[in-house]
Structure 1
């Protein structure tokens, strides 16, 4: 099985389009940020042109995502593409918050939602509360987290779930064990 980077797969263009639209950025606006033509960017989104490594880095910065989201190492077989995400092929995502590792569980960002696997290291915490225009539901696989949702404080543990609807949110893991959660987020924000 030939392994390629995501820049060589059709999902890159679809993911770029989904990220751009989720952020309410037009083709013209993103092209201007990148110093490229609208036509070139349109071709990338349609899978007709392949961006260079430096183009990918600029796109990631312009869209506020990690480069690893746009560039993967292990890719699915043609038969599995768009349906199956193998553990080794998960794309790391997130904003580089210390103590938080996140992987995209969804095959791409073209659905109305995304699934994310998050691991919160012991002693880690969100640097500041955030508010996103999303609806999010998470299921705690293991460990414990202290949450602040809309100004209310909660502690959740393995087997618990919680929902956030566009409210200010923050998290911290003051415990000795990592906490693992699976999220469904709509619309996709990564």
Structure 2
């Protein structure tokens, strides 16, 4: 009741500036082309261009890859303070929005610099379909509420509250929120692993 109103109020005051503008500004500051960023992030040039223009919204995994290619962090791109804490109280979580559909993220970490796991709670609106992805890494997803259709390497799983999935992210995957309620999802992922850039 009051707790929910408090959560809604917190969501309303944590909006970030347009992500695409921040990415374009950072890319141009570094003197990098769309092709260079796309190659280093292992994404397509067209997708990076759409993100910069606000046409497409990256997943958290893709955004980490873009940030790494731009030698920065998600927090800096979203103007969210970077904080490390081994203990995070419920009302002290860092939060931010992504995309025009207003996906809402609650950070549950990292507890320390250099951590390999990225835990978060994601609130996705009804009907939202995620980016189609595959990269080197690992993901664990526990559905807290709502219903989700999860596509993994040709298999389709209809997930209900309490269901979970744990897989190698090199397998093609994406998901869609079913029904007319938002999905609340607990995710623990690793940073996408990239091959080190070749020296010319």
Give the drift of 1:133: 1.5
More contact order relative to length (CA 8 Å, sep ≥ 6):
1
For normalisation by structure 2, the TM-score amounts to 0.52
Aligned length in residues: 130
Contact 1:122/1:175 (<8 A) preserved: yes
* Cα distance in 2 for residues equivalent to 1:72 and 1:175: 35
Of the three residues 110, 125, 129, the one matched with 1:125 is 129
Give the drift of 1:146: 0.7
**Pair 1:156-2:188 in alignment:** no
Residue by residue over 1:117-164, the C-alpha shift from the partner in whole angstroms, topping out at 9 and shown as x without a partner, is 1111112112x4111211111111111101111121111010111012
Tell me how large the CA RMSD over aligned residues is.
3.5
Give the drift of 1:33: 6.5
4+ aligned runs moved over 6 Å, structure 1: none
For normalisation by structure 1, the TM-score amounts to 0.55
Extract unaligned runs of 5+ from structure 2: 1-25, 32-66, 194-200
Of the three residues 156, 167, 182, the one matched with 2:186 is 182
Give the drift of 1:183: 1.1
Name the SS of the counterpart of 1:155 in structure 2.
Answer: strand
Give the drift of 1:93: 5.6
* Cα distance in 1 for residues equivalent to 2:75 and 2:145: 26
Contact 2:136/2:192 (<8 A) preserved: no
Give the drift of 1:69: 5.5
